[in-house]
Structure 1
Amino acid sequence: MSMDARGSLQRASSNGSSDYSSYATTPSPSTAPTTPDLSGQQSGITVLASSRTVLSGRITQGTIVISLQTGKIISAFYSVLPESEFPPGTPYKDYSPLILLPGLVDAHVHLNEPGRTEWEGFWTGTRAAAFGGVTTVVDMPLNAIPPTTTVAGLQEKMLAAEGQCWVDVGFYGGIVPGNTGELKA
């Protein structure tokens, strides 16, 4: 279970696994399309461009097309395509000369809330992550009071996060001796 930056809870797939099949891959510059083919799009898109975009591990000109329905990248181009290449009304932003790059994931953070906000809570920890280019953090389960070693503790932690997160946050229950029955509940 995770919470996105708007405070909405997100659940993993029904079998508990992540589905990576829909992640877009970036073609090499020699095989990348030069104009957008949006014929298969059922819903809206948003477009981000920059003269300095990180694609395939290097900085180049680039245009990124994102599905508004899924929030995933559906196309990447090795040039700054003009707004006129897209349907009228498409949200379009050219960030040139700023660098456009993917967000980072920090899979080991200690957001000590509830109970230890003087160390670092959701507001300060996720804000710092966002300023550093991190778009997703995964919170460690044992630093809050109560720790997330029970379903009730996990729910309390998720409630404490509501409305405070600047980035997506992943939660999970901690396994300690004697609590496996509680986490199966």
Structure 2
Amino acid sequence: MSAESCARSHDIVSTLYRDHHDWLRGWLRLKLGDAHQAADLAQDTFVRLLSADKAAATDTTLREPRAYLRTIANRLVVDHWRRMEIERAYLAVLHSHPQASWPSEEERFLIIESLEQIAQMLGRLKPLVREVFLLAQMDGLSCPQIARQIGKSVATVERYLAQALQHCYRLTYGQ
């Protein structure tokens, strides 16, 4: 990308920020019910714009700027809610153990980050492939047991499991 087009993209993001940041923060505050979270996610929206493919920030962006920003922000809200759900589930598990065995705040943060990455990775799988993977990995079921449970052949279950493992491998190692 040329220096000129990079500068143009930066100008577009600057214009969007100047003209729509307050509106976006207000929209997010109404959606989330929390001014601090709204401010954070509004800021994250513009960070996402800056770090995104510069070709995405074009004059098309300026024709419907609020719809464009709302789409990005909405994705961040979904990610935020997913993260909160994961955190609540993790904390519920922690509360079932003696507090003396709890990890530190830093360790909890890292664990929740890892759980969120796993959830995103699994979320990209087809539902039945994800179900097979979770039955094998979390419940320790064999392929014949899974096949009986979901009403598919063992060969199909093996294929789904291979797809899930391949998907995880590609996301982890980039291949």
Structure number with the higher strand fraction is: 1
Q: Which structure exhibits the higher relative contact order, with contacts defined as CA atoms closer than 8 Å and separated by 6 or more residues? A: 1
Structure number with the higher helix fraction is: 2
TM-score bucket (shorter structure)? under 0.3
TM-score (norm 2): 0.23
